[in-house]
Amino acid sequence: MQSNLLCKSERLHVGIIMDGNGRWATRRGLPRLAGHEAGVEAIRRVMEAAPKQGVGTLTLYAFSSDNWRRPQAEVTGLMALLRRYLRNETKNLARNDVRLTVIGRRDRLPEGLAEEIGFAEDFTARCGTLHMRIAIDYSARDAILQAAARSVGANELTRENFAQLVTGETALRDVDLVIRTSGEKRLSDFLLWESAYAELHFTEVMWPDFGANELADALASFAGRERRFGGLQHHASEPAQIA
C-alpha cells in the first residue's frame, strides 16, 4: 500500500464517479435524496482515508451537466445538499489540511451558491495534505471544447499548455485511477483529457457504502497493474523494444 509519506509528485490522482445513491435509497424504501445524503458521509470517509493511502488529489463527480435533466425536486435537493455541505464542512476540510476546488460551470447554479463555493475555496487554499476537487455542472467534452476555443491564436500549442486550459490548473497531475461505483462501466463524460492513460476500476459497491476498505481494494488492484503509457516494459537483461 502507498505510504502517506510519499512526496507530492509521487502521490496519486484518483477520480471517482460516485454512482448509486438513488438506487441505494430505493432498495431501502427511502427517498432518493436520502441516498445522496448518505453519499455525503461516504465523501467524508474517503476524504479522511485518501491521504493515508497515497492519494494526493481526489476528483469526485458529483453532478454532471446532463444531470439537469433529472426531476426538478431531486435537482433542488442536490443543490441544497451542496450548499449545506459547504457550510458545514469547510472548517473541517481546513482542519484536515484539505484544499477544496470545485470544477465545472457556476453560472447555472442557484443564487449565492457560486459565492459560497468561492468562500470555501479561499478558506482552504493553503491546505496541502489532499487536494479534493468536486465536479459540479461538469462536462469533460465541454471543458475540452472551451479550451480549444481559448487556444485559438496561440503561438505554440503543446499538450502541457492545452491541459492547463482544460483543467484550469497549472500543475495538475494526470488521473492515475478512475473508480466507478454501483456496477456501471462507463466514464459518463468525466475527466476525458486527464484520464487518457488512467487505469479503470469498477465495483458493484454503491457509493453510500464506499469507504476506506473499498478505496484500499481499488488501490491494491491499481498497484498490481503494469502501466506502459504506450511503450513496452523491459528488464535490464533484455534489450529495449521500440513499438
DSSP percent split of the chain into helix, strand, coil, nearest 5 = 45, 15, 40
**Residue 231 included in any domain:** no
Domain assignment present for residue 240? The answer is no
Over 60: is that where the pLDDT of 238 sits?
A: no
Residue 59 falls inside a structural domain: yes
pLDDT-derived band at 234 (thresholds 50, 70, 90) equals: low
21 catalytic, yes or no? no
Q: Is residue 163 in some structural domain?
A: yes
pLDDT at 154: 77
Distance CA 90, CA 42 (A): 16
Q: What is the domain range of residue 185?
A: 8-223
CATH code of the domain in which 109 resides: 3.40.1180.10
Flag whether 124 is in a domain. Answer: yes
Residue 61 lies in a domain: yes
Rounded to whole angstroms, how far apart are CA atoms 198 and 194? Answer: 8
Q: Beta partners for 133?
A: 59, 101
Report pLDDT digits (tens) over 52-72.
999 999 999 999 999 999 999
In this predicted structure, the answer to whether residue 232 has a pLDDT above a threshold of 70 is no
Quick one: pLDDT at residue 236? 46
Per-residue confidence band for 143, with pLDDT thresholds at 50, 70 and 90: very high
The rounded distance, in Å, linking the Cα atoms of 165 and 143 is 8
Q: Among this protein's residues, is 88 annotated catalytic?
A: no
Signed CA dihedral, 64, 66, 71, 73: sign only: positive
The pLDDT tens digits for 154-184 are 778 899 999 999 999 988 999 999 999 999 9
Question: Would 13 be classed as within a structural domain?
Answer: yes
pLDDT classification of 243: cutoffs 50, 70, 90: very low
Annotated catalytic residue, options 4, 67, 96, 217: 67
The phi, psi pair for 154, rounded to 5°, reads: -65, 140
Domain count, the chain: 1
Give the pLDDT of residue 4: 40
Q: What is the pTM of this model?
A: 0.90
Whether the pLDDT of residue 224 is over 90: the answer is yes
Does residue 189 belong to any structural domain of this protein? yes
Query: Is the pLDDT reported for residue 241 higher than 60?
Result: no
**pLDDT given at position 157:** 87
Q: Is the pLDDT of residue 5 over 80?
A: no
